[in-house]
Amino acid sequence: MAGRRAARRKEPPPAPVTPGPPAPPRRAHLWRGVTPWLFLAAPLALLLTFTYAPIVNMVAYSFTDWDGVSPELHYTGAGNYTELLTRPELFEVFFVSGYYLAASVLQIVAALYFATILSFNVRFRNFFKGVLFFPYLINGVAIGFVFLYFFQDGGTLDSVLSVFGVHTDHAWLGTPTSANISLAGVSVWRYTGLNFVLFLGAIQSIPGELYEAAELDGANRWHQFRYIIAPGIKPVLSLTVILSISGSLSVFEIPYIMTGGATGTETFVIQTVKLAFQFNKTGLASAAAVVLLLIVLAATWVQRRLVPDDRVDLV
Amino acid sequence: MNRRTIPALLTAGLLLSACTGTGGTSEGADAKAPDDPSKVTGTIKVLTVRTDLVQDGTLKKYADDFRKTYPKVKVEFEGLTNYEAEVKIRMNTENYGDVLLIPAVIKKSDYPKFFASLGTQAERAKKYRFTDYTTVDGKVYGQSPVGVAPGFLYNKRIWREAGITDWPTTPAGFLTALKAIKAKTDADPYYTNFAAQWPLTSWTSVNGSVGCDTGATTKLVESDPWAEGADLRVGDTLLYDIVHDGLAEKDPTTTNWEASKPRMAKGEIATQWLGTWAIVQFQDAAEKAGVDPADIGFMPFPAQVDGEFCAVVGPDYNQGVNVHSKHKEAARAWIDWFTDKSGYAEDNLAISPLKDAPLPEVLQPYEEAGVKFIEVDDTAGAQLKLIDTESEVGLYAPDYRQDLVDLARGARKGSLDDFLGDLGKRWTEAQRSVGSS
């Protein structure tokens, strides 16, 4: 805001309509070059300070043996990276991401389904939109605690099931498989709303007369989805898939708060946090974070290769 | 970004990060005890983990008492819920309070860089316990205001109802007792507090109790802690057996620490391995729940040497003075007063750090039973921490014990021998690499 106001004050006065002495062309040219940067100054400063500077720092730490607090740190070259790559057990935790990857397929399908339905005229559609988006607004820590009670022995889930006559004696977070499925379920609950809103926005940007025309041609709802909606939202769909994959590789909050990575629910980020804060190997943890960044970038790149981003042209 | 800017940025980052270290100017400074209390001035900030005592005003009452002796010193408190993590980050600057609890992450050899010395060990050890935990090159850098001893908190009523009146003297006897509790009462014989994580780490403090050995910490550094008959193996095997025999709570993954206190007071839980510091909290919980606080009992680890139990007395967090503090005398005065005169240890039913102070009343059964109190020598403490982080075993982290509990209840594949053997292997490998560097 501040940057914007400053920019406006410095703008040159509007050129007089009546012939007079022409504005000095060089200064006008200069201002035209500077103005966009003035607008960008604040966001760029924030971006550099809070995104790129920490990354540069992290990369720098990954070449040291820093423990996170000691004033002494030594340059160790690629030592941390060699250690990471020679310890395959550090990468075993990526199997856990498989659960979240599977869950995100479910999540995208559900979000797409609800977005399609609620983009047509349905009773209480705004209410349902709110209901679906609501979980995304809740703080992740709160969600973690709520679901701890939910999965507790005799907790919400067990009581709800017993209403339907199902009396499970199941410790939901008790075995690795069940715990990971439960946690992935929480993740679906939390993020479906976000995907749903993205899809809904994309669907509503499709011109309404296309549906009318399609209906005149005898297309049913499925045909409309298959030939109008699906191709119309392809860019958003592929963005969501990218977000889901990178999200599945870097799951953190929900398992960290609910199980702390116990019972086979440890993800790569939890492992990195533990290296940094439990074992005070900040250098090694930074290297692990860099490796994760590279893996996510690689996954995105491969995906963009496989599914090129064509321009959508419905009309 | 072109190819040339990336290495340039990297170098800049390295230079920047190298500058974050605190300079060596104030290293090795002393916080001397003031000669005249009326002349000490300044406002000092005390960092603490006891957010509860900050909120209910207990700490302020201590500060008011303190002002009676030191009228010109003002004491402010700052309670930190996530103490270790927050203080660690603040310690990259010079601004981390005047008095603080020494975080576990700081390497012992780095103490002189962060804290002002409180005096020589030779002089302080005459009056205080636990001095060797913070001694570097003969100088002491911290003092714990309370001493704690690990042990089993248990509900006396439930144990009586199960027909057990004497403390078990062997792990096998302990298991038999828990089985009797399971058979004869409705209580969970043992509660792991698996989800809260840190209660599991207190199993490391069986070290010393089992073999009644003051050199137990040195042994950890020099040999395999999970070798046959070693203290940690005995402790971890007991934990494994408790869970494996179904004597712990049904679903460990969703335990609740706060709720465990009233539940144990009411007799829904029979036993937990914690420490003397917990007694006062469980008694409070009993009062709030309307049951008799006297039901909360405390017993030593079920192992005897020559017919005697051993209880290891160790320090809680040690208080130190920030080496960059502008009011070192006032800070020192607070530490001395808080340790000697505040009554904090008695208020918490804890063991006093003063050598000549009597034991708290709750430990009277210990005295009657002739439990031997020992202090473990901590000279090898710094080396122990190095091996611990290098091996990533984490003696003071919950992870390996969570894995142990998972193993015991079948949520993880493998045998106990392999599990402990693997820990031992990682430990001894780290011993070698730390020793060689």
- Secondary structure, 3-state, chain A: CHHHHHHHHHCCCCCCCCCCCCCCHHHHHHHHHHHHHHHHHHHHHHHHHHHHHHHHHHHHHCCECCCCCCCCCCECCCHHHHHHHCCHHHHCCHHHHHHHHHHHHHHHHHHHHHHHHHHCCCCCHHHHHHHHHHHHHCCHHHHHHHHHHHHCCCCHHHHHHHHCCCCCCCCCCCCHHHHHHHHHHHHHHHHHHHHHHHHHHHHHCCCCHHHHHHHHCCCCHHHHHHHHHHHHCHHHHHHHHHHHHHHHHCCCHHHHHHCCCCCCCCCHHHHHHHHHHCCCCHHHHHHHHHHHHHHHHHHHHHHHHHCCCCCCCCC
Residue B15: per-residue pLDDT:
41
Residue B150: per-residue pLDDT:
94
- DSSP class of B140: E
Residues across chain A: 315
N-to-C CA span, chain A: 39
d(CA A42, CA A19): 38
pLDDT greater than 90 at residue A11:
no
d(CA B395, CA B401): 9
Interface ipTM above 0.90: no
Residue A190: per-residue pLDDT:
94
Give B28 or A178, the one with higher predicted confidence.
A178
Q: Confidence class of residue B196 from pLDDT cuts 50, 70 and 90?
A: confident
Candidate from B17, B21, B394 with C-beta closest to A57: B17
pLDDT greater than 60 at residue B25:
no
- DSSP class of B109: G
d(CA B104, CA B94): 18
Give B23 or B115, the one with higher predicted confidence.
B115
Chain B residue with minimal CA distance to A259? B195
- Which residues in chain A are closer than 8 Å to B92, comparing Cβ atoms? 69
Candidate from B13, B18, B403 with C-beta closest to A59: B13
A200 touches chain B (CB under 8 A): no
Q: Model confidence over B149-188: pLDDT tens digits?
A: 999 999 999 999 999 999 999 999 999 999 999 999 999 9
Residue A19: per-residue pLDDT:
54
Chain B residue with minimal CA distance to A176? B411
Place of tokens 């020992």: B374
- Which residues in chain B are closer than 8 Å to A59, comparing Cβ atoms? 10, 13
Chain B residue with minimal CA distance to A54? B13
- Which residues in chain A are closer than 8 Å to B22, comparing Cβ atoms? 71
Residue from A63, A66, A70 whose CB has the most chain B CBs within 10 Å, to mutate: A70
Q: Does pTM top 0.90 for this prediction?
A: no
A150 touches chain B (CB under 8 A): no
B92 touches chain A (CB under 8 A): yes
Mean pLDDT lowest among A10-14, A54-58, A200-204 = A10-14
Average pLDDT of span B350-368: 89
d(CA A136, CA A131): 10
d(CA B434, CA B428): 10
Q: Confidence class of residue B9 from pLDDT cuts 50, 70 and 90?
A: very low
B389–A70 CB contact, under 8 Å = no
Residue A280: per-residue pLDDT:
87
B201 touches chain A (CB under 8 A): no
Segments in B185-272 forming alpha helices (H): 198-201, 216-222, 231-244, 257-265
Residue A305: per-residue pLDDT:
87
Q: Confidence class of residue B406 from pLDDT cuts 50, 70 and 90?
A: very high
| Residue ranges of A 235-264 with Cβ closer than 8 A to chain B | 259-264
Residue A235: per-residue pLDDT:
87
Residue B3: per-residue pLDDT:
40
A171–B250 CB contact, under 8 Å = yes
pLDDT greater than 90 at residue B424:
yes
Q: Model confidence over A176-193: pLDDT tens digits?
A: 999 999 999 999 999 999
pLDDT greater than 70 at residue A14:
no
Average pLDDT of span A26-51: 89
- DSSP class of B288: H
Give A69 or B318, the one with higher predicted confidence.
B318
A56 touches chain B (CB under 8 A): yes
Chain A residue with minimal CA distance to B197? A260
Tell me the one-letter amino acid at B241: D
Residue A167: per-residue pLDDT:
80
- Which residues in chain A are closer than 8 Å to B201, comparing Cβ atoms? none
Q: Model confidence over A105-127: pLDDT tens digits?
A: 999 999 999 999 998 888 898 99
Residue A313: per-residue pLDDT:
64
State what percent of residues in chain A have pLDDT above 90: 56
Burial B181-206 (b: 16+ CB within 10 A, else e): bbeebebbbbbbbbbebebbbbbbbb
| Residue ranges of B 179-198 with Cβ closer than 8 A to chain A | 194-195, 197
State what percent of residues in chain B have pLDDT above 90: 72
Candidate from B13, B113, B394 with C-beta closest to A57: B13
Chains A, B: CB contacts within 8 A come to 112
Q: Confidence class of residue A132 from pLDDT cuts 50, 70 and 90?
A: very high
Candidate from B91, B113, B397 with C-beta closest to A278: B397
Average pLDDT of span B409-414: 91
A60 touches chain B (CB under 8 A): yes
Q: Confidence class of residue A254 from pLDDT cuts 50, 70 and 90?
A: very high
Q: Model confidence over B41-90: pLDDT tens digits?
A: 999 999 998 888 899 899 999 999 999 999 999 999 999 988 888 898 89
| Residue ranges of B 365-404 with Cβ closer than 8 A to chain A | 389, 392, 394, 397-399, 402-403
A57–B397 CB contact, under 8 Å = no
Residue A9: per-residue pLDDT:
45
H or E element at residue B373: strand B372-374
